[in-house]
Structures are given as structure tokens and as C-alpha cells.
Amino acid sequence: MSRTTRGETFAGLSVAITTPFKNGEVDYAALKTQIEFQIAGGTTCICPAGTTGESPTLTHEENDRVIAASVEYAAGRIKVMAGTGSNSTAEALRLTKQAEKNGADAALVVAPYYNKPTQEGFYQHYKALAEAVGLPICVYNIPGRTGKNIEPETIARIAECQNVTMVKEATGSLDQASQVAALTDLTILSGDDSLTLPILSIGGRGVISVVGNIVPKAMIALLNAWNAGDIATAQAAHLKLFPLCRDMLGLATNPIPVKAAMKLLGRDTGDLRLPMTALDDATEQKLRQTLIRFGLL
């Protein structure tokens, strides 16, 4: 029997969906198609306007509209956890309130980046958000991008806010994840596809996935096998997925490889916004070989 955690309704596969672009603009028709693909695949939740959704290059208006459109297209058939983080508490608050107004089911709030708050600053940031909105909040801890770790003791303090229900654990540290699991009843979701199985083993309940953009069913199979106690099948699924997961985050900065993969699979233009640039030909060939080996091409 797995441990009971606060955000159980978000256990399973959440997919950090890409934001499709065409001629420099958000392609809402392609976004709708992507969401239908996730619903057909059995995904629990989509996360629009996150890192994979190129939120740093979306205008604030686009950020709001991508979330609103995702809620509209989902039409209650799949949960929507909206990316609403910022390094300004006031801006994160505005984005989160707007996502709530637009019907999102939860907010994915990245740690304030670049300005590197103290641990007290992290606590006050999330407390201000939790007190102002009714949405479940997922704390997104990714020090490799933000420049600073939210320490486990701070996450335990943040967890005193009842509507903070989840952590997207992207520190790469199983010690950190274990400490959060020991100190809180938050639902821990892996923020690294390749660490999903190890995080499940210490009490994690799912993943917010990049690779799920292309193979949601394969990731769901891993999660289902683990939950059924079939560890051998879960391990086999992990080892099959690993080269794909490695390439999505290893060939170049996310979401460059996943957009390239979706282009190769005929599911996206592959367009990115500067300063993100496409894979060079040699790296794209490596990605193509991985997709072939997986059986996708």
C-alpha cells in the first residue's frame, strides 16, 4: 500500500506540454491537437506554460491565453496544472489568480529565479500565493534553472499552507526528495523523466514529464506497473524509456530536443523562440536514431 499524500488526485502522469508556434505566433489549433493526443493517451494532467512550454518567451498575455485555451480544450476531460511562476511575487500572484479565474485545476509555481531569495523569501513567496488563491499549488524546485535550492525544511514550512499540495522535485537529489517525503505529506512528482522510478521508490506518486509529449502510454505503463507491485516490469519500462529521457534533457536544453522529436514525428513545426535554437544536423541525427531504436520512426 502506497503512502497517502495530500495531492493524490494529481498522482500519475502529468505532461509539461510544449507551446506550438507557427510563423512566430502561438498555434492554437496545434495546441488543441496536442491536448487531444494526451487525453487519448490516458494522461492525468497537462501542464501548459511551464519550462517545456517556453514560458520565458511567452508574453504575459500569451501565458494567460495558453492556459485559458488549454482549459477550454481539456473541457474537464483531463486536469490542467497551469505554469504561473515568476521571480516577482506580485507577478506570480497575478498569473495564478488569472489561471484560477480561467478554470485551471492547479498551479505549478517555480521557485523565484535569478534574484535568489533567502529561504525566508521562498517561504513568504509561496505563503502569499497560498493565502490569495484557492487552487492547489505545486512547488516547482529546480535549482539548475533557478540558481538556488528550496531546502527541505523550507518546503516543510511551505507545506503548512493547506492548499500547497505537491512538489515537482527536479533537484536531481534523492536525498532531497527523501527528506521532503519524511517531513511532509506532499505529493512528490518527479521533475526528471529518467528519475521517475527512483522517486517512486522513495514515496513519489508520479511525474511531470517531458517525454510524455511523445510517449505518454509508455510512461503510464511504468507508473501502473510500479503501483501494481510489478517491479520487474517497471524496471524494464524504465530501461526502455531511459535513452529517450536522456536525450530529451541531454542533447540540448529542454524543450529543444522534444520539439525536434515532435517535428520528426510530424506532430509540430519544431519552431522555437529565440534565444532557443534548433538542434544542429548531427545532433538531430542522434535523436532520430534514438527514436528509431524506441520504435517511433
Query: Is 281 inside any structural domain?
Result: no
Note the pLDDT tens digit of each residue in 207-235. 999 999 999 999 999 999 999 999 999 99
Range of the domain at 162: 8-231
Report the alpha-carbon angle 159-160-162, nearest 5.
85
Note the pLDDT tens digit of each residue in 14-35. 999 999 999 999 999 999 999 9
To the question of pTM greater than 0.75 for the whole model, the response is yes
C-beta separation of 51 from 253 below 8 A: no
Indicate which residue of 73, 123, 126, 168 is catalytic.
Answer: 168
Q: What is the CATH number of the domain that holds 150?
A: 3.20.20.70
How far apart CA 46 and CA 104 sit, in angstroms, is 10
Note the pLDDT tens digit of each residue in 57-102. 999 999 999 999 999 999 999 999 999 999 999 999 999 999 999 9
How many structural domains are present in the chain?
Answer: 1
Note the pLDDT tens digit of each residue in 234-269. 999 999 999 999 999 999 999 999 999 999 999 999
Query: Is 85 inside any structural domain?
Result: yes
What string of DSSP letters covers 191-214? SSGGGHHHHHHTT--EEEESGGGT
232 Cβ neighbours under 8 A, 6+ residues apart: none
Query: Is 183 inside any structural domain?
Result: yes
Q: Is pLDDT at 2 greater than 90 in this prediction?
A: no
How many percent of the chain have pLDDT more than 70?
99
Q: Is 123 in the active site?
A: no
Query: Is 253 inside any structural domain?
Result: no
Residue 5 CA to chain centroid, in angstroms?
A: 19
Query: Is 237 inside any structural domain?
Result: no
Query: Is 265 inside any structural domain?
Result: no
Strands, DSSP E only, in the chain?
12-15, 21-22, 25-26, 45-46, 79-83, 106-110, 137-141, 164-169, 187-190, 206-209
How far apart CA 190 and CA 265 sit, in angstroms, is 26
- Assign 32 to helix, strand or coil: helix
Query: Is 163 inside any structural domain?
Result: yes
Alpha-carbon separation of residue 145 from 116, 139, 289 (angstroms): 11, 14, 28
C-beta separation of 136 from 166 below 8 A: yes
Query: Is 236 inside any structural domain?
Result: no
Q: Is 140 in the active site?
A: yes
Task: Give 1's pLDDT tier (boundaries 50, 70, 90).
Answer: low
How far apart CA 184 and CA 166 sit, in angstroms, is 10
Indicate which residue of 123, 140, 148, 259 is catalytic.
Answer: 140
Phi, psi of 163 (to 5 degrees): -90, 5
